[in-house]
Structure 1
Amino acid sequence: MSTPATATELSYAHGTGTTPLLGDTIGRSLARTVEAFGDREALVDVVSGRRWTYAEFGADVERLARGLMASGVDRGDRVGIWALNCPEWVLLQYATARIGAVMVTVNPAYRAHELEYVLNQAGISLLVASLTHRTSDYRAMVDQVRSACPALRSAHYIGDPTFDALTAAADSVTPGQLAAREAELSCDDPVNIQYTSGTTGFPKGATLSHHNILNNGYFVGELVSYTEQDRICLPVPFYHCFGMVMGNLAATTHGACIVIPCPSFEPAAVLTAVQRERCTSLYGVPTMFIAELNLPDFASWDLSSLRTGIMAGSPCPAEVMKRVVAEMHMAQVSICYGMTETSPVSTQTRVDDDLERRTGTVGRVMPHLEVKVVDPVTGVTVPRGEPGELRTRGYSVMLGYWDQPERTAEVVDAGRWMHTGDLAVMREDGYVQIVGRIKDMIIRGGENVYPREIEEFLHTHPKIADVQVVGVPDERYGEEILACVIPRDRADPPTLEELTAHCRERLAHYKIPRALRILTEFPMTVSGKVRKIELREGYGA
């Protein structure tokens, strides 16, 4: 629980708890789970039908770890993974952790020039990749950039003899040699580099330790009451913290089962996996849940096994949350808030929170973390109920951006507070509301307008499936309000006049959108956040 407000009611909260932080490496944590739950299912790949018990999973992780050592991967070396969700992705995550390598997650959507940047910036020496996906030929792109990436010694492709060679090489490294390597490792060692989606320029590599992500995954799982009985459907990408930390590490620290429904998100495949595997938990960003709920035959799937799940990536519209609880049987669904640089979760709703807290907030501070809301100019903590920048501190804050100390210093201050860039309000009860990004706040004729408030209200319009609100240049007011709408029925989208009439009774006049764009989808970052900068730039296009 978070500590009570001080006499001055400042927007500060410290998450306490009776369960101590884990002091393990990821490898030692997995070994304990294998010992305790060896005969329970650890991993299911619905598409291929492959299944692993924890004993089988642990054995395959060990073999891959020894194969990586035989291939010359030393402690601290960077190993890249450029692939869609698949069992080999998960095996590599734990195998690299066991040998002290740093796994670098690469977005499968990257093109050759983006791949080249990451290979060089992180100094990746060994790369594991998919062969193809849609229009992407991964081997061809690797061949295209290889001469410009001197650190890259070898590339291995899933489903290809080059990947099989990795595990075949394991015979030249003994289990004792692997154990000796593991004995050298510290929980504070870097274990993962995740490239954050920048709005300008190239992304930065957030460097995370065993301690960062193992604990964050564990406590996310604790707060949704995971046990070895749970089966977690993960349609969210593994190359981001949502999949590999909140999903995979939350599962393996509790003996739960990871269910991979499809390589990349397909709403019908997700619901089929939940039904077939009797999943108890389902993850997604709000747009994923919206896509599932809007399937014409949604009611035909049996989702009665679900009890919980996690929504994150961007704030969840209240109307969507209500449907998820009522129609998907996810009475204990949890909202999580965070960012890659904080491993990722800082606040989370609890399973016994009422619907108002789970629809109106992003929860309260996680155990062993601190959050505060400050004036973004002065850095002074504001009173509860007032908006400001959300900052967080504790075990979850990244080690830094890989090889970019100046960029690290821009967001992590001398007190080790991470500056999130998010506008938030801490309520009297300690629960946090995200009201937007500092850079997304609209200033219309001197009035501060928070897009989140307008978006929440527009979600109550019967013709709107999803909506994003942005500010666009205006000669008279400086900025004007634009609503970007995905309609429920493309043949019958809402008109600006209908939106205006809908808003007039409930919103102040300066908050009513003055422009409307009808879209089929929103531009998204790798972490599931809508790229509002592209919506602004596309206005009038």
Structure 2
Amino acid sequence: MKSYNYSTSSKSLIFKTIGEMLNEIVNAYPDNDCLVSIPEGIRYNYRQFKAEVDKIAKAFLALGVKKGDRVAIWSANNVAWVLTQFATSKIGAILVTINPAYRASELEYALKQSETSTLVLIEEFKSSDYISILYNVAPFIKGSKPTGLNSIRFPYLKNVICISQTKYSGMFRWDDFVEMHKKIDDSMLQDMENALDPDDIINIQYTSGTTGFPKAACLTHINILNNGYFVGEAMNFTDKDRLCVPVPFYHCFGMVMSNLTCISHGSCIVIPSPYFDPIAALTAVEKEKCTALHGVPTMFIAELEHPEFSRFDLTSLRTGIMAGSPCPIEVMKRVNNQMHMSEVTIAYGQTESSPVITQTTPYDSFEYRVETVGKPLPFLEVKIIDPQTGKIVEAGEQGELCARGYSVMRGYYNNIEATQAAIDEAKWLHTGDLAVMTQDGYFKIIGRIKDMIIRGGENIYPREIEEFLYTHPSIADAQVIGVPDQKYGEEICVWIKLRDGHTLTEEEVKEYCREKIARYKLPKYIKFVDNFPTTVTGKVRKVEMREISVRELGLGAASKIETA
């Protein structure tokens, strides 16, 4: 049996724009809660939400924003972010989502590479002063009027809008920008909506590559609307569900798997905080009686391990998604049992596939829901190939996971070479992930091809060791990386985060491993940490871990040895 599977559905693909879908849902569920922001004290039902979206859409038109223009948003999670997402989709402007953690050089790259015409931003994020960063990157803004931006360095940038009550030089204040909607009548907005096509590119997402500059994945209405819809279907979502969203909107997890999943089902989006905070997320679930919660594994671990976890009433929870990085089986079991998420699902994918490729369902056995990433979403094909030959491998054999279907991106913006490297002539997206397909068509992710450790000729998959270490009662989280070694080429290094109140020594960890796993998989180096370096989405940055380990362990010489 070959490693190939696909799924169908009794539900059809949605051939609509996001704006059309929103209008239909508003007509069906006008009084349902649509968006609740706890930190801002804002609550919209669907009728109110559409009215606000239409205001923002008309305000963009008043600024001169047209179909195909790039509107970038550089912000943590808030109501204005969601309004901007749907307002741009109504006029055909392409939303460029910028990582809130970006600093000066990264912001400059994104604005120039995407040819952004309008930037929406907040004043600050954690330790970053966005206003100062922007003035440093584009000093011409500070001396300009909001309506007169013009620069040779940024030839496309014409408007900057700050989500703030303070007025900054060269920028529109959010409320003043919104008031501009009065210049545009409803018929002009309707004409613009009627001119759109579901196959239009509507979103640019920057992928966080480990080397070189981020690549800009171009996604269409069809890509992300359908992906959000079928993700919701896999969770049995209805207009009665309420989703707590602690994941960032700038990423597909927040923008598609959360916002579009809710909007396509008449469900409610609950914003617990501008950025992830375990207590804020738990409070939101209890206060708003959320039925679903999303997060990457590190977020669920932070919630479960918080000293105050037991005081929260989470019995309203039913489902949700754990995704973004490999989901530890032991953590999945605790989410099922201690957070009452008996129908929690695992999703797998990447930005280039809008993002979900496979997902488990509440109907899958517990074994499959904790040990696999499910089957392909409807109307998607998945195969596993030998990375060297490109041939499909037999079920049970490891290889690279490839996907094909409606969710595959149009390509990378202004980067034909990278597009051709990611998507082959037969339209298969090559993910770079190592996976296995079971005999009954479920998929298991082994790790990234680039993350695989080769020690003395033995292929070692970090996730296998990580899953084993999670079974130790004192270990809350473990991350395994390869570090250079003069004798074996690479050695195994593990970073361990202990449970509160627990202690463990290096020798005790090694002894625990000696009894259970093969000698060549035994970690040589062990580092105890309080936290791991992560991206804004909560993904562990193994590249940074490796750099730190090489430096601290004095492996610089070994890292410079050339290999074939």
- Report the TM-score range of the alignment, normalised by the length of the smaller protein: over 0.9
Deviates most, 134-143 or 437-446: 134-143
Which of the residues 73, 78, 93 maps onto 1:81? 73
2:514 matched residue in structure 1: 504
1:530 pairs with 2:535? no
2:434 matched residue in structure 1: 423
Distance 1:275 1:267 in 2: 13
Query: What displacement does 1:94 show?
Result: 0.2
Query: What displacement does 1:501 show?
Result: 1.6
Which of the residues 390, 394, 400 maps onto 1:383? 394
1:44 pairs with 2:36? yes
Query: What displacement does 1:468 show?
Result: 0.7
2:25 matched residue in structure 1: 33
1:470 matched residue in structure 2: 481
Specify the code of the residue in structure 2 equivalent to 1:110. Answer: Y
Query: What displacement does 1:242 show?
Result: 0.1
1:348 pairs with 2:359? yes
Specify the code of the residue in structure 2 equivalent to 1:55. Answer: R
Q: Is the 8 A contact 1:116 1:149 kept in 2?
A: no
Query: What displacement does 1:328 show?
Result: 0.3
2:559 matched residue in structure 1: none
Query: What displacement does 1:100 show?
Result: 0.3
Deviations 1:328-368 (A, max 9, x none): 00000000000000000000001111221111111111100
1:316 pairs with 2:321? no
Deviates most, 531-540 or 121-130: 531-540
Q: Is the 8 A contact 2:228 2:261 kept in 1?
A: yes
1:399 pairs with 2:391? no
Query: What displacement does 1:150 show?
Result: 2.4
Specify the code of the residue in structure 2 equivalent to 1:235. Answer: P
1:149 matched residue in structure 2: 154
2:13 matched residue in structure 1: 21
Query: What displacement does 1:142 show?
Result: 1.6
Distance 1:409 1:165 in 2: 44
> What secondary structure sits across from 1:513 in the alignment?
coil
Query: Measured at CA, do residues 379 and 528 of structure 1 come closer, stay the same or move farther in structure 2, by a change above 3 Å?
Result: farther
Q: Is the 8 A contact 1:74 1:101 kept in 2?
A: yes
Query: What displacement does 1:145 show?
Result: 1.7
Query: What displacement does 1:28 show?
Result: 0.0
Distance 2:132 2:295 in 1: 31
1:111 pairs with 2:116? no
Distance 1:10 1:120 in 2: 45
1:304 pairs with 2:328? no
Query: What displacement does 1:202 show?
Result: 1.4
Query: What displacement does 1:528 show?
Result: 3.4
Q: Which stretches of structure 1, 4 residues or longer, exceed 4 Å deviation after superposition?
A: none
Q: Is the 8 A contact 1:247 1:258 kept in 2?
A: yes
Specify the code of the residue in structure 2 equivalent to 1:495. Answer: T
Deviations 1:367-424 (A, max 9, x none): 0000000000111000000000001010000011111111111111111111100000
Quote the sequence identity (%): 54
Q: Is the 8 A contact 2:7 2:380 kept in 1?
A: yes
1:70 pairs with 2:62? yes
Deviations 1:457-484 (A, max 9, x none): 0001122111111111112211111111
2:129 matched residue in structure 1: 137
> What secondary structure sits across from 1:203 in the alignment?
coil
Distance 2:363 2:460 in 1: 32
1:121 matched residue in structure 2: 113
Specify the code of the residue in structure 2 equivalent to 1:176. Answer: S
> What secondary structure sits across from 1:52 in the alignment?
strand
Query: Measured at CA, do residues 433 and 292 of structure 1 come closer, stay the same or move farther in structure 2, by a change above 3 Å?
Result: same
Query: What displacement does 1:493 show?
Result: 4.1
Q: Is the 8 A contact 2:299 2:538 kept in 1?
A: no
> What secondary structure sits across from 1:27 in the alignment?
helix
1:5 matched residue in structure 2: none
Specify the code of the residue in structure 2 equivalent to 1:530. Answer: V
Deviates most, 302-311 or 436-445: 436-445
Q: Is the 8 A contact 2:70 2:94 kept in 1?
A: yes
1:272 matched residue in structure 2: 283
Distance 1:179 1:216 in 2: 26
Question: What is the aligned length?
Answer: 532
Distance 1:228 1:535 in 2: 42
Query: What displacement does 1:306 show?
Result: 0.2
Query: What displacement does 1:214 show?
Result: 0.1
> What secondary structure sits across from 2:298 in the alignment?
helix
Specify the code of the residue in structure 1 equivalent to 2:528. Answer: I
> What secondary structure sits across from 1:538 in the alignment?
helix
Which of the residues 333, 344, 363 maps onto 2:374? 363
What's the TM-score once normalised by structure 2's chain length? Answer: 0.93
1:159 pairs with 2:164? yes
In structure 2, the gaps of 5 or more residues are 141-152, 168-172, 553-564
Distance 2:542 2:369 in 1: 24
Specify the code of the residue in structure 1 equivalent to 2:488. Answer: Y
2:262 matched residue in structure 1: 251
Q: Is the 8 A contact 1:197 1:526 kept in 2?
A: no
Q: Is the 8 A contact 2:247 2:537 kept in 1?
A: no
Specify the code of the residue in structure 2 equivalent to 1:83. Answer: S
Deviations 1:124-174 (A, max 9, x none): 111110112232221222222224322111111112351112211111111
Specify the code of the residue in structure 2 equivalent to 1:246. Answer: M
Distance 1:141 1:297 in 2: 37
> What secondary structure sits across from 1:274 in the alignment?
helix
Deviates most, 153-162 or 101-110: 153-162
Q: Kindly report the root-mean-square deviation, in angstroms, between the aligned alpha carbons of the 2 structures.
A: 1.1
Which of the residues 509, 512, 528 maps onto 1:518? 528
Q: Is the 8 A contact 2:201 2:221 kept in 1?
A: yes
Specify the code of the residue in structure 2 equivalent to 1:17. Answer: S
1:288 pairs with 2:288? no
Distance 1:90 1:36 in 2: 20
Distance 2:447 2:409 in 1: 23
Q: Is the 8 A contact 1:371 1:392 kept in 2?
A: yes
Query: What displacement does 1:502 show?
Result: 1.2
Distance 2:217 2:44 in 1: 31
Distance 2:229 2:308 in 1: 35
Query: What displacement does 1:317 show?
Result: 0.5
> What secondary structure sits across from 1:419 in the alignment?
strand
Q: Is the 8 A contact 2:4 2:383 kept in 1?
A: yes
Distance 2:214 2:532 in 1: 20
Distance 2:124 2:453 in 1: 42
Deviates most, 14-23 or 275-284: 14-23
> What secondary structure sits across from 1:306 in the alignment?
coil
1:93 pairs with 2:85? yes
Query: What displacement does 1:440 show?
Result: 0.8
Deviations 1:238-277 (A, max 9, x none): 0000001000000000000000000000000100000000
Distance 1:133 1:270 in 2: 18
Specify the code of the residue in structure 2 equivalent to 1:152. Answer: L
Deviations 1:82-111 (A, max 9, x none): 000000100000000000000000111111
Query: What displacement does 1:526 show?
Result: 4.2
1:234 matched residue in structure 2: 245
Query: What displacement does 1:525 show?
Result: 3.1
1:4 matched residue in structure 2: none
2:3 matched residue in structure 1: 11
> What secondary structure sits across from 2:258 in the alignment?
helix
Specify the code of the residue in structure 2 equivalent to 1:205. Answer: A
1:186 matched residue in structure 2: 197
